[in-house]
Amino acid sequence: MPLSGKIALVTGATSGIGKATALALAREGCDLILLGRRVERLNKVGDEIKKRFKTNWLALPVDVRDAGAVKASLEGLPDFWQNIDILINNAGLASGFSKLHQGDPQDWELMIDTNVKGLLYVTRTVVPGMVKRGKGDIVNIGSIAGHEVYPGGNVYCATKHAVDALTKGLRLDLVDTPLRVSTVDPGLVETEFSVVRFKGDEERAKNVYRGLQPLTGEDIAEAVVFIVTRPAHVQIAEIIVFPTAQASATVVHRKEE
């Protein structure tokens, strides 16, 4: 299914998987709404889209944790941008790596508000328009953490299990419509993810990917493009993507350095 002329909204579009997905969709001809907190980065991604692919883009500097701001920004889009064809719920993060009984409640709230409530706020605002128009793709970026729980992952894994449940629930709710609901659930992807999780400790973040070739944001973006370009009668429910050296959330082969 060609994407030329379609409008895609990507949350968390400033870096990593979100940025790579925005660029990949622009390459396929989509016009992009780039949603994220850091306006300078949004503009930088938008400039790259315009320069490389000549498609239109719009920066939407919004924190998905703010329900009112999400609703106002999306409902206030200019007419050209109102008819969103593709929603990529990518915004998400991990914060901290403590045992549950030693965890920081502020970390919990940050993850729950971003990974779960943020996805809900954006979906609730965008999907009714898709239903009314009778078309649309919703792709949630989940994680292997939504299928398995690993030591230190407790609340982050809980949020990604929630994303998995919400994806399945939305698919059930939309079964009588032409809309398609999918999830891409990666294993180890080298982005800013671990730097954020470890509060800026870049050495500790590098150790997560030591001795193996992790996935890139571009690898996940290609999975997203595959999903949204299938024929209208084909719905890809779920894609789990690992690096070749990873077999589960906790089983990884690392080469000796």
Domains in the chain and their CATH numbers? Answer: 7-241 (3.40.50.720)
Whether 150 is a known active-site residue: answer: no
pLDDT of residue 201: 86
pLDDT of residue 233: 98
pLDDT of residue 1: 78
**How many angstroms separate the CA atoms of 209 and 120, rounded?**
31
Query: Which of the following is catalytic: 135, 160, 206, 255?
Result: 160
pLDDT of residue 33: 98
Question: Is there a contact between 30 and 87 (Cβ–Cβ < 8 Å)?
Answer: no
**How many angstroms separate the CA atoms of 112 and 119, rounded?**
10
Q: Measuring CA to CA, which residue among 229, 227, 219, 237 is closest to residue 17?
A: 219
Apex CA 17: angle with CA 14 and CA 21, to 5°?
85
pLDDT of residue 256: 82
Using CA atoms, how far residue 139 sits from 9, 20, 166, 179, 249, in Å, is: 10, 14, 12, 11, 22
Whether 209 is a known active-site residue: answer: no
Question: Is there a contact between 45 and 23 (Cβ–Cβ < 8 Å)?
Answer: yes
pTM recorded for the entire structure: 0.96
Query: Which of the following is catalytic: 99, 156, 199, 209?
Result: 156
Query: In angstroms, how far apart are the furthest CA atoms of the chain?
Result: 56
pLDDT of residue 118: 98
Phi/psi at 29 (5° precision): 105, 5
Mean pLDDT by 10 residues, the chain (257 residues): 94 97 98 97 97 97 98 96 98 95 97 98 98 98 98 97 98 98 97 89 90 97 98 98 97 90
pLDDT of residue 115: 98
Cβ neighbours, 10 Å, residue 142: 28
pLDDT of residue 192: 87
